[in-house]
Amino acid sequence: MNLFTTRPQDVATDTNAQAFMMQKMLMSNAFITLAMVAEVNGEILAVKPLVDGFTGAGDRIPKTIIYGVPVWRLQRGASAVIMPPIVGDIGLIAICDRDISGVKATKENSLPGSNRTHNYADAIYLGGVLNAEPSQYVKFSNDGIDIVSPLLVSIAAPSVQIDADSSFSINSPNIILNGPVSQGAGSNSGDFTFAGNITATGEVTSKGVKLSTHTHSGVQSGSANTGNPNV
């Protein structure tokens, strides 16, 4: 069944004829569409548009792969969110108005590389859509922010500060602190309370008194208690 031939009403009036020609002109250009990632080379992709073309008789015309497509990244100066696509991802591609090959090559002001306009060759991959439910993510909601990963979460910086007005909890069957631990003298300084045992392979010192080697004064044979420990 032919669904794509010119209809009588398309040329019934001058207005309809102009609208038909405008529609045909727009359909010959590319603006934004869905594509699947076919290859990944760093921040440059090869993608295949997922919405195929068709002939006047309605026969499908499969889209071909577009090479050299840059990846859009949320970035400010040297700060960025890095999340490279993988093969099989579905995402939006935006097609620039003019040939951007000169800017891609030099990363500076450049004249258009050719006279082409709204061409798939000047596409930019904007990011994922219609993909599977993620297993690691950052989620923003009315209840707060969730950071979830089934693998390692790594934070690297010369100095890391966490400010919690109410409480700060770490829930883990095994907590390892690699480095000296000290309590600051800030407004939240206080006592340490442990529900379990404390085991130290090194020395324990309290107010200058060493636990493993200190002695007690006033020791006498009999039932009397020992005196205070010596420094």
pLDDT of residue 75: 96
Mean pLDDT along residues 189-193: 86
No. of H helices and E strands in the chain? 2, 13
pLDDT of residue 224: 66
User: CB–CB of 50/89 below 8 Å?
Assistant: no
pLDDT tens profile 11-55: 667 777 777 777 777 778 899 999 999 999 999 999 999 999 888
Give residue limits of the domains in the chain: 1-29, 31-153, 199-231
37 exposed, middle or buried (CB, 10 Å; 0-12, 13-18, 19+)? buried
For the domain 31-153, what is the CATH code? 2.40.50.230
Full-model pTM: 0.77
